[in-house]
Structure formats: C-alpha cells, structure tokens
Amino acid sequence: MSEQKRYKLERVGPADVVQLYAEGFEQLNSKEKTFIYYLYLAALAGRDITIEQHHRHALEVRDLFEQIFQHQENIDSEVRPKISSYLKLFWINNGFYDNLTSRKFVPECTFEQFKNACMTAARNGAQFDVAGETLEAKLERLKKVVFDPNYEPMLTNKTPGKDFTAGSAVNFYSRNLSYNEVQAWAKTGQEKYPLNSYVAKEKGRIVEKVWRAGGEGVPPGVYAADLKAVIKYLEQAIPFASSEYQAETIRKLIRYFKTGSLEDFRQYNIHWVKDDSKVDFIMGFIEVYLDPRGQKAEWEASAFYTDPEQTRLMQNLAKFAQYFEDKAPWKNEYKKKIEHSPIANVINVAVETGGTGPVSPIGINLPNEQAIRQQYGSKSVLLHNIVDAYEKSQGKVLVKEFAWDQLEIEMEEKFGSLADNLHTAMHEVIGHGSGKVSDKLQGRDPADFLPGYYNTLEEARADLVALWNAWDEKLVDIGLARGKGEARQIGETMYRQQIRVTLTQLRRIEKSDQLEEDHMKSRALIGHYIMENSNAVKVETREGKTYYHVVDFEAARKSTGELLAELMRIKAEGDLRAATALIDRYGLKVDTNLRDEVQQRVKKLDIASYTGFVMPQLEPVVNGGGKITDVKVSYPLDLAKQMLEYSRFTRAEKAAMAKQK
Ligand SMILES: [Zn+2]
C-alpha cells in the first residue's frame, strides 16, 4: 500500500513539498473524528495570526500574490513561475522570512514585472484590497518590503552587539523601540503579558497591546476576530471531548484566549499537562524562538491522536525519568525529584498550522514554563507520521556523501532511524523536563535571566541528555534495544549523527557567516565543543572533501558530560555571562570556507534544506438532521490548492467575527 502513496510533491527553492498522511485516522470512532474535525477548524481559523506576527505587512503581501496567482492568464510566461515560487515559499514559511536562516527572501522577478503582473491580474478580475489608496500607491508602499532584501533583512536578529529588537522585523515590538528601552521597561515589572502582547511606544510611553479575543469582562485586543473564530470551533469541539476533564481543558483554553491573562494560561497548562487523552491538541501562543528577547510567543495549532503501539515504548522511557535524572552528570543540587512521571505519547498529526505548519517539528515538549515543569511535570509528543514522511521523501543520500567510511554508512542504514527516534524521544521525554534551578532565581523563569541565549542553551541541554544516555543499559529493559550490543551500536550511531550534523547543517544557511536558528546553534555548540575539548573526533579530508569522523566514543561521552553539567549550572544559576561566552564561541560563527565546500557537495545531491507539509484534508459527513456522523480524510497532493482554501476560510471567518462585534 505505502509504495503507492506519493510523498514528495514538488521542490520550491530550498524546500521540499511533501504530503502528510493521517495514518490510523480511519480507525478512530466517529466521536473522536468529530472532535478532531472541530479542532482542525480551530487550527485553521488561527492561522493568519502567525503570518501577521512575522511581519506587519505580510497579510497584505500574501493577498496581492494570491490574487495574481489565481488570475494568471496573459501574464508573461517568464514572470509567472517566479511569482508562484515566491508565493509557495511564503506559504511554507508563513511569510517572507526563511524559517532556518531568519533572512528575508524576495521574488526573482523585478518590481516592474510584478507591477505589470498585478495590472494584468486586475484586468482578469483579481480583487485587490486597496482600501483608501490606488493599486499603484499600494504597490509602491510595499516595494521595499517585498523587493529589497536589505530592508528589514532579518526576522529575528540575535547577533551579539546588534540591537536585538530594532534589528528584528518580527511584529512583536513597534519599530521605534530599542532593546535597551524594552528591557529597562520590563525590569520595572510593567510587562504584564510577556507571552501574548505587542509592545509599542506611543507618545514616549511604552504600552502593551494584548493578543486576546475579549470577554469575561475584558475588552478585546489585537487578533480578536481571529481568536473569536478559534473559540467558536473550540466550543463546538467541547461536546465531543473524551472526558469531562478534557472538556475542562478546552474551557480553560477558551478563557485564556478571551482574557489573555498569564495566570489563565498557567491554569490551562497545569490542567493540560495532566490530560492524557487519545486525541489531543496544542494551541495558542507557545514557542518563543522568534522573539529576540525570548518572551513573546508565535501562534501555533496542532490536532493529533496517539499511536498506541509506539506510545508504549515512549511511556516506558518516561517511567524511568527519575533513574536518568539521578545519573545525570550535573551537581546533586540541580537534580529534581520527579513526582509525576512525564506524559509521553507517539502521535499522528491531523493538522498543523502557524508555528508548526507547513514546516513541522518532529518532537514537542510542553509547557515551557520552568515552574510548571518542576511542579506538575511535562508532556512530550513524538510526531510519528511527520518523521515517517521525512524519511520516505528524503532517503540517505546526505549520509552517503558525508559519512567517512563504509562502516558509518552501514551503521546508519541499520540503526539510523532507531537512533534518530531514540534521540528525539530522550530529548523530549527526559531532556527538556530534567533538572532543577537554584533557589537564587526566586521562582523566576531561567529564560528571564538569559535573554537571547536561553533557547539555544535549553535545546543543547536536551540533546546532551540524549547523548549522555545513548547506550544506557536501561534502554534494553525498556525495549528500545534488543540487547547490550545493539544498544551500544544505536548509541554510537547517535553520536555519529550528532557530529555529522555539525557539518551538514551548513547546507541550510545560504551565505550567512553565522547561525541564527536555536536548534542549529545548539547542534554547533555540541559538535564544536566535543571536537575542541577532546580527541573524540578526527577531521579527515579526502579529495578535497572534509569529514568529521568519530574515533573515540568514550571520549565523546566524557566531553558530553562536561558540557551538559555546565549548561545545567548556567540554566540553574541564570549565568548570562557564561552562556554568552560558550554559545558565542562554539555555536555562532561559521567557517565560511567549510560552509561553501558543504554547499557545493550538497548542490550536486539536489536535496532540500527543509520540508513544507501538505496537511490531510478533513470533511464531515452530515446526516439529514445536520448532525456529523463521520469525518472523511483525503489528501490534496497540492500545496497551492490547500493554501488558497485555508486563506479563503480564514478570511471569511474573520470577516464574520468582525461584523458580529
Ligand atoms: Zn527541544
């Protein structure tokens, strides 16, 4: 069966477009399917929030390009594909900044060609939204935004010495605010909505504009129409929740969307983290990677359901969380007593939008707030059908190019996918959730002490926990390896993968001389630290090609332990100076000659830097009484078709909500 499925659909610039399959959806019962269906609509309804967060003009730009795309007749045949490629990359990235390099991308046609295409599309019946201005004036106004790569060039800029806030285009702070101003203001305790507000300077005063729907006695804020539409579908989902407990989870989330209050979000998280329902979701302002200060969160929404077979293994790992905590290499004072063993599920995704779609993570661990993790535990999910679609669409060409010898290739073929899955599982289940911070932080989140550095540090810490335990004998008891020998081989494969990625990830940064994305920085930190502080890795060259060859796994593990202990100390103590020194030294700058070599080698292989997924499509089967009796899943195999439908849906929902008042 699976041979007939189409995974890779097309290639657009640096991205592969891949169809995602909702494996096992048909086996759910109709109540579960209906529940997912309403969550799916809620996820779609919130999608434009992310796009507007990425740039204050991003929705306007998208609408222009979507109109041209839908009215293409008689547009110059050389210009047409350039407009389509730009729009597809926009859809995949939720805006015109590359999700890996954080840099702006621009269309390959000229502004004049674009303008002509707009005029032609207008004659073909395109409806451009030009409230209060002419189309020409609108295009002129957006010219720099779309066509000038040097105008607001970075989505998020954390270059040491640069102004993090003014230098980042992300739509979290008004353009007239400097980093120092925001930090000084936040220090006075006036930042009441750190996660979900836009910070503006108006008439010399700094104010927060909260992202909320309004209700419960609170006035509406930014994104009110979007959030009201989300709430409408969440309310419809409630009767189909698996239990009264889960219904309450949703009610708490709705309350938070109405008030925007941090305390309501905490109450929701405390409830959600204990909810182990088969169908589950993540929705809201969650991850803070895009904020140079690490405070404001990007909108994301996912609905998913567990894969029972795979989940058993993950839950076994979670049961041993205390065992792994006890044998961590950090000081005893940073070891925590695990009172609730973390929830760990292997899931299949039905839909992801915003921060998690079309580009998707492979594992998620939440909530992010350290105090909740310490007190109430955490929940991890491994995204099974996403990982599967990655593997089916990519193959092993990259490994063959960058592996030093035949042994490395054979080990990868035999144990690569086991090692990869184990790495993700340990990263999420026993990595992020581990460790305890010092009382000196007085209950404040360590992220507050490490602005610009916390995310990189935390990602590295979770990876290092996986490496530290890579061939632990308990993995055999858990059922993740069939014997000590196999555990060792899986573990060694994991180290090879971790070191190799230090090299191969250079393919994803184009001509940057430094890394921007937190996961990439964390991988560089680990790889370079091990290489410079031990003899575990030999740098070999053959026919002008560079290889990172792991020669001593014990030495690599020893080095892993040193770095892990230090990162835990930095997090626990909020030691910004030490974080800066380590990450700037090992995780930031790139050897540009090596970068060019890697990119040349990869160019010949023709592989993508990242993947945008086309989501499954859900459609209700409704009986004569208007009741949903079943939900059908289908696969569009077409990015443009799906994205245009999503845009249409969200636009209509927002318009209806705006009218409702
Ligand atoms: Zn992580």
Mean pLDDT of 533-553: 97
pLDDT(396) > 90: no
Mean pLDDT of the chain: 95
Between the CA of 293 and the centroid of ligand 1 the distance, in Å, is 18
Ligand 1 centroid – CA 364 distance (Å): 7
Burial classification of residue 17, based on how many CB atoms lie within 10 Å of its CB (0-12 exposed, 13-18 middle, 19 or more buried): buried
Q: Give 420 Cα–ligand 1 centroid separation in angstroms.
A: 14
Instruction: Convert the pLDDT of each residue in 286-328 to its tens digit.
Output: 999 999 999 999 999 999 999 987 898 888 899 999 999 999 9
* Six token digits for residue 616: 């499954």
Q: What pLDDT band is residue 23 in, cutting at 50, 70 and 90? A: very high
Which pLDDT belongs to residue 661? 62
Report residue 393's pLDDT band, with 50, 70 and 90 as the boundaries.
confident
Higher pLDDT, 407 or 160: 407
The pLDDT, as a whole number, for residue 480 is 87
Query: In angstroms, what is the span from residue 495 Cα to ligand 1's centroid?
Result: 17
In the structure, what pLDDT confidence band is assigned to residue 391 with cuts at 50, 70 and 90?
Answer: confident
**517 alpha carbon – ligand 1 mean position (Å):** 12
- Name the band, by pLDDT with cuts 50, 70 and 90, for residue 194: very high
What is the pairing mode between strands 537-542 and 545-550?
antiparallel
Residues less than 5 Å from ion ligand 1, measured at CB: 459, 462
Determine the distance separating the centroid of ligand 1 and the alpha carbon of 463, expressed in angstroms.
8
Are the C-beta atoms of 344 and 318 separated by less than 8 Å?
yes
* Secondary structure (3-state) at 283: strand
> 423 CA distance to ligand 1 centroid (A)?
11
Residue 73 in this model has a pLDDT that exceeds 50: yes
CA of 632 from ligand 1 middle (Å) equals 33
Tell me, in angstroms, the distance from the centre of ligand 1 to residue 556's CA.
Answer: 21
Distance CA 71, CA 69 (A): 6
Average of per-residue pLDDT across 530-555:
97
Length, in residues, of the chain: 661
CA of 462 to the centre of ligand 1 (A): 6
Provide, rounded to the nearest whole percent, the portion of the chain with pLDDT above 90: 88
Partners of residue 383 on adjacent β-strands: 347
Query: What is the 479 CA–ligand 1 centroid distance (Å)?
Result: 23
Q: Angle at CA 22, nearest 5°, toward 20 and 23? A: 115
Question: Considering Cα of 504, then 508, then 514, then 520, what sign does the dihedral take?
Answer: negative
Between the CA of 428 and the centroid of ligand 1 the distance, in Å, is: 6
pLDDT at 200 (0 to 100): 97
The pLDDT tens digits of the residues spanning 155-183 come to 999 888 888 888 999 999 999 999 999 99
Whether residue 354 contacts residue 50, with contact meaning beta carbons closer than 8 Å, is answered with yes
Q: How far is the CA of 131 from the centre of ligand 1 (A)?
A: 43
Domain ranges within the chain, ordered by starting residue: 307-611
Cα–ligand 1 centroid distance for 267 (angstroms): 23
